[in-house]
């Protein structure tokens, strides 16, 4: 990245996108032509994956260049229909230099079930991401998804797209990828905790301590206070308030005993065959 322009070299951007596409495929986060990746290389240009190609087997010359209106500037393939989602991220937040969208199974399962990942249960997630909201459903390829994510972009770097998948943004494409990796692992841990009887959230004062510590870990974006839902520095003046819930994630209890019984029944059936 150039210090003067703060944008990535096009050649490096192409190589990095190819590598992240390979990691998507190795992780099992995409099938067939799923997913899309982009890197902003100038004020009005981005490099992104094309439509109709498997992300695990791309070459740098197959990637395309568009402007921030989605017009093709360079390349012989068609832009992904979801490039509008990436463009919305770049328009709303000048600090974003890369976007990554895939369908990691567990996190996408939460998105399809209507659950966010905003419960404060892992310090690492609170520090790095704050929370992972569930955005409303939008039909891929048009303006519905950009419209759905817009209200969340200022406060978050990772998003569950209802009935669709996951989107992350970052200072570079590896940063966006690592946030997607963290989202999927958090989803797996959250699911396991719910199967074992439910998550045990960190207390609001302890969560606020983590929020206050974010600048020391290089996290510059402000996160809404877990107590009052506002953005502020230092201790919250509403210490007794409970964390706000922006989705049904904490309100829909898991019947752990029923799930255990059903899994046991299925295993026994398999063993009898």
| Separation of alpha carbons 202 and 264, rounded Å | 32
Q: What residues does 102 pair with on adjacent strands?
A: 166
187 and 94 share one domain: yes
| CATH number assigned to the domain comprising residue 25 | 3.40.225.10
Contact call for residues 68 and 44 (beta carbons, < 8 A): yes
Tens digits of pLDDT across the chain (273 residues): 444 357 999 999 999 999 999 999 999 999 999 999 999 999 999 999 999 999 999 999 999 999 999 999 999 999 988 999 999 999 999 999 999 999 999 999 999 999 999 999 999 999 999 999 999 999 998 899 999 999 999 999 999 999 999 999 999 999 999 999 999 999 999 999 999 999 999 999 999 999 999 888 888 665 555 445 555 444 445 443 333 344 443 334 445 555 556 655 665 666 666
251 and 171 share one domain: no
Provide the whole-model pTM: 0.82
| Separation of alpha carbons 103 and 111, rounded Å | 10
Residue 73 located in a structural domain: yes
Using the 3D structure, point to which of 195, 212, 239 is the last residue of a domain: 195
Using the 3D structure, point to which of 149, 175, 195 is the last residue of a domain: 195
162 and 212 share one domain: no
86 and 157 share one domain: yes
88 and 131 share one domain: yes
The DSSP-derived string for 161-175 is ETTTEEEEEESSHHH
Long-range contacts, stretch 3-12, CB < 8 angstroms, 24+ apart: 5/42, 6/97, 7/40, 7/41, 7/42, 7/43, 7/97, 8/39, 8/40, 8/41, 8/97, 8/172, 9/41, 10/41, 10/47, 10/65, 11/60
Using the 3D structure, point to which of 195, 213, 244 is the last residue of a domain: 195
Can you give the C-alpha Rg of the chain in angstroms?
Answer: 20
């Amino acid at each position: 990245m150039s210090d003067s322009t703060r944008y990535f070299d096009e050649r490096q951007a192409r190589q990095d996108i190819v590598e992240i596409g390979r990691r998507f495929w190795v992780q099992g986060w995409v099938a067939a032509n799923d997913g899309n990746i982009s890197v902003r290389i100038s004020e009005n240009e981005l490099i992104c994956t094309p439509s109709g190609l498997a992300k695990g087997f791309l070459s740098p010359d197959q990637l395309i260049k568009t402007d921030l209106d989605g017009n093709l500037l360079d390349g012989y393939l068609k832009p992904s229909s979801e490039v509008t989602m990436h463009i919305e991220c770049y328009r709303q937040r000048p600090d974003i230099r890369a976007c990554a969208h895939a369908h990691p199974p567990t996190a996408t399962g939460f998105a399809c079930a209507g659950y966010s990942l905003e419960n404060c249960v892992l310090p690492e997630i609170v520090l790095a991401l704050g929370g992972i909201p569930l955005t409303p459903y939008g039909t891929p390829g048009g303006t519905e998804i950009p419209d759905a994510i817009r209200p969340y972009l200022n406060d978050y770097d990772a998003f569950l797209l209802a009935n669709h998948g996951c989107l992350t943004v970052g200072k570079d494409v590896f940063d966006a990828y690592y946030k997607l990796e963290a989202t999927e692992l958090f989803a797996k841990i959250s699911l396991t905790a719910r199967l074992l009887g439910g998550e045990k959230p960190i207390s609001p004062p302890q969560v606020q301590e983590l929020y206050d510590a974010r600048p020391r870990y290089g996290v510059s974006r402000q996160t809404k206070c877990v107590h009052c839902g506002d953005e502020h520095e230092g201790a919250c003046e509403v210490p007794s308030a409970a964390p706000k819930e922006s989705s049904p994630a904490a309100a829909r209890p898991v019947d752990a005993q029923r799930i255990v019984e059903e899994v046991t029944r299925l295993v026994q059936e398999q063993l009898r065959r």
